[in-house]
Amino acid sequence: MNIDMERIQGLHSRLLDLSRRSTEVIANAQKQRHPFDNLNDAQRLFCGFLAHEAGQLVIAAATKLGLNQSLHADADIQAAAQSFFTAAGPFLGTHPELVETAYLNGAEILVDSAEALIHRAELVLNGQGSMKP
């Protein structure tokens, strides 16, 4: 099987960054000292909520790439992804390449969505954005 490791590695890097940022936003939303002392409780809850949901999307995307146990920088993502897609094809009754195509595209959408949520939470957290849709 010939999987698109360059794309998977790119998504893995984004997943690691988003996981870190999600954790950071949640921690900062709980702080009541400078520079986060201007936030009201609704803003804190909003930021924490978005960051938590982004974290859930990160986990979902990692799972669809076979990387749910590989959300750390030194993970052997090539072996994990290869094994996952090779096993997923027969399990789902189709070719591994078709699973890879579907799951890579879906995971990328999840990652983009997580990134948008984290970005919005960071803007509100830093006083540069609004909670309003």
Lowest mean pLDDT segment, chosen from 28-42, 61-75, 110-124:
61-75
CA 108 to chain centre: 9
> Residue 2 has what pLDDT?
82
Would you give the end-to-end CA distance of the chain in angstroms? Answer: 43
> Residue 72 has what pLDDT?
75
> Residue 57 has what pLDDT?
98
Domain ranges of the chain: 5-125
Rounded to the nearest 5 degrees, what angle is found at the Cα of 111, between the Cα atoms of 99 and 121? 160
CA distances to 9, 36, 43, 44, 55 from 49, in Å: 28, 16, 10, 8, 10
DSSP 131: S
48-104 pLDDT, tens per residue?
999 999 999 999 999 999 988 777 777 788 889 999 999 999 999 999 999 999 999
SS3 129: coil
